[in-house]
A and B are shown apart, each in its own frame.
Chain A
């Protein structure tokens, strides 16, 4: 029973964190159509924010405003200087954001060095959950992610924001004609996306290695999730996270980390080829 609960919790935890990490890319790529290759670098910036506040002797929670400020600032700068010139040019955004990812990575390396950083455990120790001991921080994090997604889902369902973003992408001139300030909406969407990536970085920091090159893994797994789940909906994002998280976790446990990764790769290729709209196509 304990083992069952622990394994189940681990799986749910893996899915929830994957969903959180992929959310930003889902917004920026799925809604805005910008294939942001620097997505993982924003996760990395969030993780380094935790390192900075702990080094300064501040409490963990102070990393949240810091990460938001850093990601929003860089997000605005990047959107203003690069992205806004490239909307509706998917290849070019892919290449330009690749360049941006190099720059962010190298600047962080220049500031903090190439070595691994680790941050102190927050809420160390375990609590009993359904009779099984489970790390307290993970449990709190899991609850926070679930609440966050629930709020997001309610808001998204009620507002026309998603439809407006899609309208802006598919027909910007007409969107402006119905009164949508397209430049502002695009900038806000992009900044929202990179900020959630930063928050994901903060949340994961106590549990992962922090180094300048950590972003690429998060970019890839986010991308696989979107491919499998389908673009443009929260439901698709969660289904994709469950699918990728489930396969990766179970194959890795049963065989090896490499075979888990290979499975995910092959699944993604098959989806890209046979079902590019993903499992949860909107219509």
Chain B
């Protein structure tokens, strides 16, 4: 920490000395590259942190530049116009991006290439519009004669304005990445669906990140307009968009310094080569391929590795867990109704009028042959599968058709069959996210206090599962059994009132299975919650529950106590429970 801060100050001082040491023209060039680097920082926020790549960032940069240019031209560089100019140049792209983000992310979970390609196509659309809307943008020739604010010389002291902006934006983004919001963005990149099951609206989080990145790009555009004095459609286009991504990748998308380094490095490399070697772009292309192949963390990545080996890695800020959360009190009685639920996919019927209800707390088991629709019953309850007919109601609210995060907000939590954790995050970060579920407010997202939260249940679980105390361990390094346990812990840490457990003992050995059964029983009793568990192993069922729901071919076959189920002739006909 101390080292990075000191290093940042040294670098900033070095940058401030550039005009004096290398002359004004170099500083002018450097200023332009730093402006591009700012856009790159926004790309890094989305790509390096939240895991989706915006490919058309020049659109927002160009809009910011046109807006600032128009304001400056209209006011002839008067200071009075600066604040509305900068504010509009930031806010318009930010809102535009947030809307695009919400529209796209709400329809598509994950971070596949479609979002990237939409942003790219939007930039191309922007380029066409900038070319054809002569009256506003000046068309092909661009918006010319943009004055610098009074007393500012584009080739002189404007450099220090740019430098100041770089410092302020870097600090702001640095702070943002350390907040709970920043951690949730990482979690989104790691495992978006799992985060939704904690009640987080991940498309909102991603749209917010995209909006912020566009605001940053717009601000850079506002800096660019008076710096160049002209804004052409190229500032909105496809090529600049691609180049911005290249600079970010070359510098390093996972850090804030990376995009600045990348833009400056490629900028000066290109301006050197351009004069000496006609086909300089070949070199840029090769450098770029090399970075993609060999340096996924960019140029800065080399530095970081070297730096870490010198200092032994810097300490992450670790706040003590000293704010105990109130337990919400004994859970209310459950009220879950499956009302003639039918699910079909093409010619296949998955659920065929499933009908049952649960009104008693405690643990209930669903058993049934493979393909009976057990997991599908969970899926239709948690927004993963659409019901063709019928409804699922939890405390009177129809939950089928809701998005996973909306169901999770009704205090319904779910653990998948395969352990689903955030592979790149530490155990402590898992605990944080689980404790925040359904508790963290929007304001808390931008405060450091939630990192100090803890709960009674956390203390109990940490005693039972010793690996929870090794908070710095990365989840991806844990064994399958431990990931299964970690997933179980975070599922319950959100203190749900209804827990859906899909074969929680799958892949566990006999001894581990016994531990897991005990943990489920104890935790559920502690919270007074209701759990529904899918299980094949009758021994597990016997140890946990006396209410069994038997499914067969998408329908309810039997419903009752273990003894009743055992005696049921229908059940015996299709299903004979055994033990491991």
Residues on A lying within 8 angstroms of B by beta carbon are: 35, 82, 85-86, 90-92, 94-96, 98-103, 105-107, 109-110, 220, 223, 227, 258, 261-262, 265-266, 268-269, 272-274, 276, 283
Contact = CB atoms under 8 A, between A and B. Distances in A.
Contact of B103 (A82, A85, A273): A273
Given A95-B249, A100-B289, A106-B282, A262 B128 contact: yes
A280 B280 CA distance: 43
Contacts of B346: 283
Interface stretch (B34-42, B104-112, B210-218, B437-445): B104-112
A95 B288 CA distance: 8
A57 to B, nearest CB: 29
A258 to B, nearest CB: 6
Given A106-B285, A273-B104, A91 B293 contact: no
Given A98-B242, A103-B285, A273-B107, A91 B113 contact: yes
Contact of B282 (A35, A95, A107): A107
B472 interface: no
Contacts of B289: 82, 96, 99-100, 103
Contact of A272 (B114, B245, B278, B279): B114
Contacts of A272: 114, 117-118, 121
Contact of A258 (B132, B282, B285, B286): B132
Given A91-B53, A103-B289, A98 B128 contact: no
Interface of B: 47, 53, 103-104, 107-108, 112-114, 116-118, 121-122, 124-125, 128, 132, 242, 245-246, 249, 278-279, 281-282, 284-286, 288-289, 292-293, 296, 346
Nearest to B128: A262
A99 B122 contact: no
Contact of B122 (A91, A223, A269): A269
Given A102-B288, A110-B278, A90 B113 contact: yes
Contacts of B108: 276
Given A273-B114, A273-B118, 8 more contacts: A35-B113, A82-B292, A96-B289, A96-B293, A98-B242, A103-B282, A109-B279, A269-B121
Given A99-B286, A273-B103, A273-B104, A265 B292 contact: no
A220 to B, nearest CB: 8
Contact of A262 (B125, B246, B278, B282): B125
A266 B121 CA distance: 8
A91 B292 CA distance: 10
Contacts of B114: 272-273, 276
Contacts of A220: 124
B344 to A, nearest CB: 14
Contact of B279 (A96, A106, A262, A265): A106
Contacts of A92: 292, 296
B113 A94 contact: yes
Nearest to B293: A85
11 contacts: A35-B113, A86-B293, A91-B113, A91-B116, A96-B293, A101-B285, A110-B282, A268-B121, A269-B125, A272-B118, A276-B112
Contacts of A276: 108, 112, 114
Leading 8 A-B pairs by shortest Cβ distance? A102-B285, A99-B288, A99-B289, A103-B285, A96-B292, A106-B282, A99-B285, A272-B118
Contacts of A35: 113
Nearest to B292: A96
A262 B125 CA distance: 7
Contacts of A268: 121
Contacts of B113: 35, 90-91, 94
B245 A95 contact: yes
A98 B296 CA distance: 16
A85 B292 CA distance: 10
Nearest to A107: B282
B292 A99 contact: yes
Interface centre among A85, A95, A220 (most CB of B within 10 A): A95
A91 B50 CA distance: 14
A118 B425 CA distance: 57
B515 to A, nearest CB: 31
B292 A102 contact: no
Given A85-B293, A96-B293, A269 B118 contact: yes
Nearest to B47: A91
Contact of A265 (B128, B132, B281): B128
Nearest to A78: B289
Contacts of A227: 117
B118 to A, nearest CB: 5
Contacts of B132: 258
Contacts of A266: 125
A261 B129 CA distance: 11
A100 B290 CA distance: 11
Contacts of A103: 282, 285-286, 289
A197 to B, nearest CB: 19
Contacts of B288: 95-96, 98-99, 102
A105 to B, nearest CB: 8
Contacts of A82: 289, 292-293
Given A85-B293, A92-B292, A274-B107, A106 B281 contact: yes
A95 B246 contact: yes
A265 B125 contact: yes
A1 B62 CA distance: 49
Which residue of A103, A105, A227 has the most chain B CB atoms within 10 A of its CB atom? A103
Nearest to B290: A99
A86 B285 contact: no
Nearest to B121: A269
B422 to A, nearest CB: 19
A53 to B, nearest CB: 25
B210 to A, nearest CB: 14
B179 to A, nearest CB: 26
A35 to B, nearest CB: 6
A86 B112 CA distance: 15
A102 B284 contact: yes
Given A106-B279, A109-B279, A269-B118, A86 B292 contact: yes
Nearest to B280: A106
A261 B238 CA distance: 15
A103 B292 CA distance: 15
B527 to A, nearest CB: 39
Interface centre among B104, B108, B112, B292 (most CB of A within 10 A): B292
The residue in A94, A101, A283 that gathers the most chain B C-beta atoms within 10 A of its C-beta is A94
A273 B100 CA distance: 10
Nearest to A227: B117
Given A95-B245, A265-B125, A100 B285 contact: yes
A265 B282 contact: no
A220 B238 CA distance: 11
Nearest to A267: B121
B277 to A, nearest CB: 10
A107 B116 CA distance: 28
A268 B103 CA distance: 15
A78 to B, nearest CB: 9
Contacts of B293: 82, 85-86, 96
A109 B277 CA distance: 13
B147 to A, nearest CB: 32
Nearest to A105: B281
Contacts of A283: 346
B121 A102 contact: no
A26 B401 CA distance: 34
A92 to B, nearest CB: 5
Given A91-B113, A92-B292, A272-B114, A265 B121 contact: yes
B163 to A, nearest CB: 29
